[in-house]
Structure 1
């Protein structure tokens, strides 16, 4: 192969690399602009009275823990059982925990995977003393099964999205490595 041919091919490759780098830079600029816009939207959505998710989650967990400490026969992380229908009114009447914390805790507790799993047809519901107070109906059990399926589907979709993003990042890193190698080859 002639030196002239090698030089031409190298120049052609460098031209292609320049085009790829410019396209990549434009893509990064677009992505940066989108991220900036998204962060502005998120900031606007989180401004005012709403709190970031992590603060809400911490407050919810603290409220659930308060109920578990106050009513250990009823609320547990390890032995989750269906609660009596109307237990919120019982909690409010007992007046040991504030209304806001009761609502927050119950909302978190009854939306947990463990709680949905506990809702089996015929299972005993419990009151504040941990005593049986009704049973889970077939309809309630079916509703819980549907919620579990929905939550599992959402989890799988999040995992798929995360894997897709990871593959895209790996692909981008490989491309960058190859581009770097080509540039280094040209410098020799």
Structure 2
């Protein structure tokens, strides 16, 4: 497989690292709300609450929330009638049937993209192995003809 680091993949890695660092900041600052192990649906409008609380920079809040609510664990937590939590970790509303269905669809899309990416990686691996076999055969033929 081609392991070249392209500018696009490098930027994606940097963004992912920055998003994860911002999320860790929210987890550390609001442990009753944000967790990697106990993901719960968030209150609608929690971004405004976080900004008003002024404990974390606005740009970091946006990065962290985007990562948090697009994670498969968050989609799994979005089941009908599940409690939504505010900044203190208290229940302040429920997940609606429509929101739960939307999350289920997003989770399905996530898994589909992951499967497609895996198939692409496997295909690229097979093509590379085929090219290497062909190259080895050509080298053997060239070395035999030199004898």
Question: Do they fold alike, i.e. is TM over 0.5?
Answer: yes
Q: Which residue of structure 1 aligns with residue 16 of structure 2?
A: 57
Moved more, 135-144 or 55-64: 55-64
Q: Which residue of structure 2 aligns with residue 113 of structure 1?
A: 72
Task: Report the structure number with the largest CA radius of gyration.
Answer: 1
Cα RMSD between the aligned structures?
A: 1.9
Report deviation, 1:184: 2.1
Report deviation, 1:77: 0.5
How many pairs align? 143
Question: Is 1:177 matched with 2:146?
Answer: no
Question: Is 1:85 matched with 2:31?
Answer: no
Q: Which residue of structure 2 aligns with residue 129 of structure 1?
A: 88
Q: Which residue of structure 1 aligns with residue 34 of structure 2?
A: 75
Question: How far apart in 2 are the matches of 1:169 and 1:120?
Answer: 43
Query: Among 157, 160, 172, which residue is 2:116 paired with?
Result: 157
Report deviation, 1:187: 2.3
Q: TM-score, normalised by structure 2?
A: 0.90
Question: How far apart in 1 are the matches of 2:126 and 2:43?
Answer: 47
More RCO (CA 8 Å, sep 6+):
2
Report deviation, 1:70: 0.7
Report deviation, 1:55: 1.8
Q: Which residue of structure 1 aligns with residue 106 of structure 2?
A: 147
Question: Could you say which structure has the higher helix fraction?
Answer: 1
SS at match of 2:32: coil
SS at match of 2:36: coil
**Structure 1 unaligned blocks of 5 or more:** 1-34
